[in-house]
Amino acid sequence: MTGYRYRGQTNAIVTESWGGSRWTLTPSQHTKTSTVLYGVSCIGMPCMAAGNQLQNGDSRTFTEAWSGSPWTIVPSASEGNWAYLLAVSCPGPTTCVAVGEWGGEQYSTLAEEWNSGT
């Protein structure tokens, strides 16, 4: 499970995993604030999560992977300003697609594919 909590003036990532009887916090290696995860998908391992983070006043896409250890940042393909990934789906353990939007005053559709490393 992924999400965020409001901490002061910014958001911070919260990730948890189900252990069969209760939820347990799973640490993220990303410690910066103003980051939000909107979607997660797990078909085997790794689990992938997608969202956005604020950098220098712009929103950038943000993705992480989890394989039973701490979440690790996976570089996103999007270089655009004001980009958000709002959902992710992994139909298998080596392929995921994340969708969202990018732009500024007028948004366009954004889709990224992950294939077991890039």
Query: What is the Cα–Cα distance from 74 to 104, expressed in whole angstroms?
Result: 24
Predicted TM-score of the model (pTM): 0.75
Amino acid at 90: C
Give me the number of domains the chain comprises. 1
How is residue 68 annotated by DSSP? S
Domain of 23 in residue numbering reads as: 2-114
Q: What is the pLDDT of residue 107?
A: 81
Query: What is the Cα–Cα distance from 80 to 1, expressed in whole angstroms?
Result: 27
Tens digit of pLDDT for each residue in 31-81?
566 777 888 888 777 888 888 887 777 888 888 888 877 778 888 877 667
